[in-house]
Chains A and B, each alone.
Chain A
Amino acid sequence: MEREKIKRIVSKHRHEKAAILAILHEIQAEDKQLETESLNYIAQLLKVPVANVYGLATFYSAFSLGRKGDTKIRVCSGISCHINGADEVVEVLKSKFNLEMGETTWDKKFSLEKVQCLGLCSIGPNVAFNMDTYSKLNKEKIEMIIEILHKKTGDSK
């Protein structure tokens, strides 16, 4: 992200060190990653050691140093989804996008990751595509959703 933009975000949060998570959230949402230069610049603006900012960016699972896909596919790994067949849904996602957990497609359109619990425990298995969550999934249903998605966004293999 350009320095000017980072500066604007940091100023919006009044250069408060406590707002650093909020700052990182905003940058991550736009860049789909936290670049080293961004982290360095944030540290400089907030007058904190780079190691601190780097520590936060790697500790919290919401942030990532590597580029995530435009569509972040988050599979719920809560106990309820697990019992109700989440593994089967994961296998479909892996093979259809040719991804392992934590990876991003070459064209940066999709990334696949695990999320601890989406809080939809009576309608699992659940998968979130960015802000859209799909529930009561099984092999057939997730295949259908992916097909519709591919039609919308263009193929990604």
Chain B
Amino acid sequence: MKIKTMGDLDKLREAGLKSLAPKQLKISISMSTCGHALGADILYHELVKQKGKQGLKISIGQTGCSGFCDLEPMALLRLHGRPPLLYTQMTVKKIKRIIEDFEEKRISKEGLLCTIEDPFLSAEPGPEFNEIPSYKEVSPFKDQHRRLLENCGIINPLSVSEYVAMGGYTALYKALYQMDPEVVVDEVIQSGLRGRGGAWFPTGIKWDMARKTHHKEKFVICNADEGDPGAYKDRTIMEGNPFKLFEGIVLAGYAIGSHQGLIYLREEYPHTYEFLNDAVYTAKRYGFLGKNILGSNFNFTLKIIRGGGSYVCGEETALMDSLEGEVGDPRLRPPFPIEKGLWERPTIVNNVETLANIPHIIEHGGESYAGIGTEKAKGTKILSVIGKVKQPGLYEVPLGTNLEHVIFNMAGGPLNGSQIKAVQVGSPFGNFLPGEKLDISLDPETLKTMGSMIGSGVIVVLNQDTCLVDILLHTLSFFVEESCGKCVPCREGVFQMKKIMTAIYEGRSTMEDLTSLHDIGGMIKDFALCALGGGAPSLILNGIRDFKKDFEAHITTGKCPWTS
């Protein structure tokens, strides 16, 4: 059925509410890429089998990735009149016990993490629920401000009715019927939202310029070429709540006067590709994409395009080359995509996380959105905290949150009581911050003064057991492999740096090699064509400056002291 009026939307919301508060027990298994990797499909099929065999009075559903993949497979238990229960690291045995306990009116405690806040719960749940911690009190969710990830792991990502029940598509309806495109752009400008892909350019300004260009054909490109090693926030949004992203993309199209959107998805996410295509199909069926969206005069189509496995295609001009069927070659700017983008048409390129912010801004207003964050960086940021920490995962926090707080209080601190040696914020370009300099505000400006960057929000935690030379060599290998080869400084320079770094790592070098690294690095920084080449040497040069001991240890002992 196509949603054409507010009444239709209300009906869909009703259906979603029923699905979120079912009359009989509903067990939903988290079925994203990470869930699959840890056995969710086995669990799901076993559950279906058991249901048939024993005639269990349950329904079986699915949820998406919540950002804490190591707690997968997760199971969410829903029943009308009581708060949903979230279980982690489920096995067939554990699930069976949960069902048995349920039949005997007990709450199974094994693997139980918390209750999920249920905004629609009318009656007070029984006292047995009081002892279970809530979502907001328990690690890893406590202290988070989940604006973008609010539904991830909680709703069925492919159920548009559940998304609508959680407030989805209210913003699009409001924009199409009550706001002119320039008002939409104004709200985004007021929100202070800046591009989350790493460049942090003001989104509203970009949209305003694109809106003012006069061309019949314009494009909205969603950059889902999430290539920074360590980042998986875009995958989580796409697999956990794809309609939120679609709503943001359609709003962008409406704001700038475009009727065509493309999601450029990285090749390494094959599950996400299938998943997004399913979601596009559903969105079309309900009239959230296609002709006369929500009964208005606005038309918008959305296509998912798969990349070919090239990091440089995450750079917006190379990305457009790739969409045109070319090799991804970064172009010199200007002209900027807003003037001459895809097929020389005005184009905006925005990251997944950026676009996922839009529904909130339109629904609640730019001013309200800007209520959290720092003076120059508003809203929340999803951080991907990985490496040697107790609880790795995605933490969505207001910009300006203290880094030490995130690592120690939210992510549980370093593994096994070890000491933090260094933290890399903004992998692979961000510099390493020494373990004793973590008491800082997480925002682009502060990190810039530290000689680092927030980038796409990857935070790699390294402890005393890690060798910095090894990590730097690994990162350098990444740059060598991903160099597109167009300019000599990057293609040859980074290659030479890797050769020298390998010699250092293997203990076949002298102190003079450090000088060579300096010279080559300086040359690359000055002459590389794009940020990919320019970013590679600064990491090494800062590594030598801040962690010289690690380099010296290799050079003087003739081996890697950490591995031998």
- Which residues of A are at the interface with B, using a C-beta cutoff of 8 A? 16-22, 24-25, 52, 55-56, 59-63, 77-80, 82-83, 115-123, 126, 131-136
B537–chain A nearest beta-carbon distance, Å: 18
Q: Are A62 and B309 in contact (CB under 8 A)?
A: yes
Report which of B229, B388, B462 forms a contact with A78, defined as CB distance below 8 A. B229
* Closest A residue by C-beta to B234: A119
Q: A123, B267: Cβ atoms under 8 Å?
A: no
Interface check B61, CB cutoff 8 A: no
Closest residue of A by beta carbon distance from B342: A18
CA of A117 to CA of B33, assembled, Å: 13
Known contacts A123-B69, A136-B38: A80-B309 contact under CB 8 Å: no
Interface centre among B268, B309, B323, B460 (most CB of A within 10 A): B268
Please report which residues of chain B, range 197-235, place their CB below 8 angstroms from some CB of chain A when the two chains form the complex.
226-232, 235
CA gap between A83 and B466 in the complex, in Å:
8
Closest 8 CB pairs of A and B: A60-B308, A122-B392, A61-B309, A119-B232, A78-B229, A20-B325, A135-B37, A62-B309
Please indicate the chain B residues that have their CB under 8 angstroms from the CB of A133 in the complex: 33, 36-37
Q: Among B305, B462, B482, point to the contact of A116 (Cβ < 8 A).
A: B482
Contact of A120 with B33 in the complex, beta carbons under 8 Å: yes
A-B contacts besides A59-B484, A60-B267, 15 pairs, CB < 8 Å: A61-B309, A62-B307, A82-B474, A117-B228, A119-B232, A119-B235, A120-B33, A120-B232, A121-B230, A121-B231, A121-B232, A121-B384, A121-B386, A122-B69, A135-B37
| Of the residues B70, B326, B384, B462, contact of A136 by C-beta under 8 Å | B70
Q: Is residue B324 contacting chain A, with contact meaning CB distance below 8 A?
A: yes
Q: Is residue B311 within 8 Å, beta carbon to beta carbon, of the partner chain? A: yes
Q: Flag if B327 contacts A55 (CB, 8 Å).
A: yes
Q: In the complex, what distance in Å separates the CA atom of A131 from the CA atom of B69?
A: 18
5 contacts across the A-B interface (CB closer than 8 A): A25-B308, A59-B328, A78-B229, A83-B460, A122-B68
- Please pick, from A18, A24, A80, A135, the residue contacting B229 in the complex, using a CB distance under 8 A: A80
Which residue in A18, A59, A123, A134 is a CB contact (below 8 Å) of B324? A18
Contacts of A115 in B (CB 8 A): 268, 309
The answer to whether B325 touches A80 (Cβ under 8 A) is: no
B306 at interface by CB-CB < 8 Å: yes
- Which residues in chain B, 33-48, are within 8 Å of chain A measured between CB atoms? 33-34, 36-38
The distance in angstroms between the C-alpha atoms of A12 and B553, with both chains bound, is 60
Specify which of A56, A83, A132 is in contact with B308 (CB 8 Å cutoff).
A56
A80-B386, A117-B230, A136-B38 known; A56 and B33 CB under 8 Å?
no
Cβ-defined contact, A56 with B327, below 8 A:
yes
Chain B residues with CB below 8 A from A80, complex form: 229-230, 386-387, 392, 460
Other-chain residue from B72, B310, B323, B324 in contact with A60 (beta carbon distance below 8 A): B310
Chain A residues with Cβ below 8 Å from B226 are 119
Known contacts: A79-B471, A80-B230, A82-B474. The answer to whether A21 contacts B68 by CB under 8 A is no
CA distance A106 to B543 in the complex (A): 43
